[in-house]
Structure 1
Amino acid sequence: MVFLIAGCTFGRPELYYPSGITLNPNTGDIYVSDSSNNRIMQYRYPYESSWGTVVAGGNGYGYNNTQLSNPVGLYFDSSTNSLLIANKDAHNIVRWVLGASNWTLVAGSNNGIQGTTSTLLSFPNDVILDSMGNIYVADGGNSRVQFFLAGQSNGTTIAGVTATPGGNAILLSSPSSLVLDRQLNLYVSDTGNQRVQKFTRL
């Protein structure tokens, strides 16, 4: 069976290009990146209504810390009751604590600057955490995956080569989504190459 959880089938849609989704495993609530509306929506379990609540952004497109700019990938961090958001057009990863009115910077620029250095990002598509709080970012515009130790803003490239898209075994092209398994092997949706790559933990 199929159930409508978010948005609508007919009439005025609530969502506009939804692109990311994450789950709060403690409550069952889901969070959706409503990308073209520059906001994150919450849908409460047991999803009795397909109308959600804005929990992040919703203040127009922009780079200040109350706004989002084409948010895409999402990750719910249960240890801090917050959302990590790949804030794509702002070239950063931000943390939005549920109930707060603004984000704090996790990685990348806080004023919309993109770049190829270890502290900058370019159109990040996804973000995930491991059990130690380390952060992994699909840095789409740089065709790489960046690894940030917990609490650090200086990243290390662990997959791909910075600003070098390609199709051989060590290169990526516009990576868009990330998953870790229990052994911390990394799976990358290598969108530009029409494939999924596995990178084993060193």
Structure 2
Amino acid sequence: MFDWKIWVETSTAPPTICSAVTWSENAITVAGGNDNGAALNQLSYPNHIFVDDNDSVYIADNHNDRIVKWAPNAISGELVAGGNGRGNNLNQWSGPSTVFLHKEGKLYISLNSNNRIQKWNNGASSDERIIGQFGPGGDANQFNESWELFVDFSRGIYISDLWNHRVMKWIVDATTLFVDAAGDLYVAGLGNHRIQKWAKDSEEGVTVAGGNGQGSNLNQLNDPTSVVLDVTGNVFVTDYGNDRVVQWLVGAKTGRLIAGGSKGNGVNQLDRPEGLQFDTK
């Protein structure tokens, strides 16, 4: 028999609470309270909530297969994700169990009955499956029902794997990999704002570009999405958040701008570049 609980996450650091604090004896309803139902002023078996920095409440509305947001003092919720009916298609959900709002505005949602984790970008009309491509199971690329997830500041995703009796950490924002002729692996770490080189058979990586925090200086990167190397080992990076492509020479401490640098559709501009390849010329 399960001990059902509603778990609460926040996007801020844990508060400092005086040991002598007193609490009100009476609660205040901040969402729902209008019987079980599917209207936007109702909820149906809410399973998990997340409170953002503005005190808006995001709710995994389990039986309505949706995520709703209730602003402070609202009398009705706002549909922010899901709501396309119950099912297993990629645009459908079956029982969202957890919702987590990352600091960049992206929602991470655990779909317990679908055995997958979805990411919903701010303002998007559809979501993206990021974990659960291989169905339920006990292998390292699977899980079997998750009722809780947490996303750290580097976008590492921690999930409770109920029937495998374990907690897993998934790294899903290493967007692009490149392997050189020596078998060394280069990884674009989106959330870490760096490019790392993992030498063949090594147990740890070495930062070869970025790694100085998120920013626009030439020794920094901002959500790098792709990495390629030339024949001499120089690193070329699509710096998504800075709308540019930068080159890092072997051993360099700073990059060199080679394309873009401002957002737009001009011939000298880029707009959130994601991919990079060399042609034969």
- What band does the TM-score fall into relative to the shorter chain? 0.7 to 0.9
- 1:106-157 deviation digits (Å, cap 9, x = unpaired): 11116xx212223221101100111110110001110010011111131111
CA RMSD of aligned residues (A): 2.6
Query: Partner letter of residue 87 of structure 2?
Result: G
**Pair 1:146 & 2:133 matched:** no
TM-score by length of 1: 0.75
Map of 1:121 onto structure 2: 93
Change in Cα spacing, 1:169 to 1:18, as seen in structure 2 (3 Å) is closer
**Pair 1:193 & 2:153 matched:** no
Query: Partner letter of residue 64 of structure 1?
Result: A
Unpaired runs of at least 5, structure 1? 1-16, 29-45
Query: Partner letter of residue 114 of structure 1?
Result: R
Change in Cα spacing, 1:77 to 1:155, as seen in structure 2 (3 Å) is same
Please list, as runs of the form range in 1=range in 2, the aligned pairs for 1:103-118 lying within 5 A after superposition: 103-109=77-83, 113-118=85-90
Q: Could you tell me how far apart the structure 2 residues matched to 1:27 and 1:189 are?
A: 21
Q: Pick one of 19, 24, 43 that aligns with 2:6.
A: 19
Query: Partner letter of residue 100 of structure 1?
Result: A
Query: Partner letter of residue 88 of structure 1?
Result: N
Unpaired runs of at least 5, structure 2? 16-20, 175-281
| Larger RCO: 1 or 2 (CA < 8 Å, sep 6+) | 1
> Higher strand share goes to which structure?
1
- Structure with bigger gyration radius: 2
Please list, as runs of the form range in 1=range in 2, the aligned pairs for 1:14-163 lying within 5 A after superposition: 18-22=5-9, 46-78=21-53, 80-109=54-83, 113-161=85-133
- 1:33-63 deviation digits (Å, cap 9, x = unpaired): xxxxxxxxxxxxx442342111111111111
Q: Could you tell me how far apart the structure 2 residues matched to 1:19 and 1:26 are?
A: 20
Number of aligned positions between the proteins? 168
Identity %: 31
1:176 deviation in Å?
0.9
Q: Secondary structure at the match of 2:163?
A: helix
Q: Could you tell me how far apart the structure 1 residues matched to 2:101 and 2:8 are?
A: 15
Does the Cα contact within 8 Å between 1:137 and 1:145 map onto a contact in 2? yes
1:26 deviation in Å?
9.4
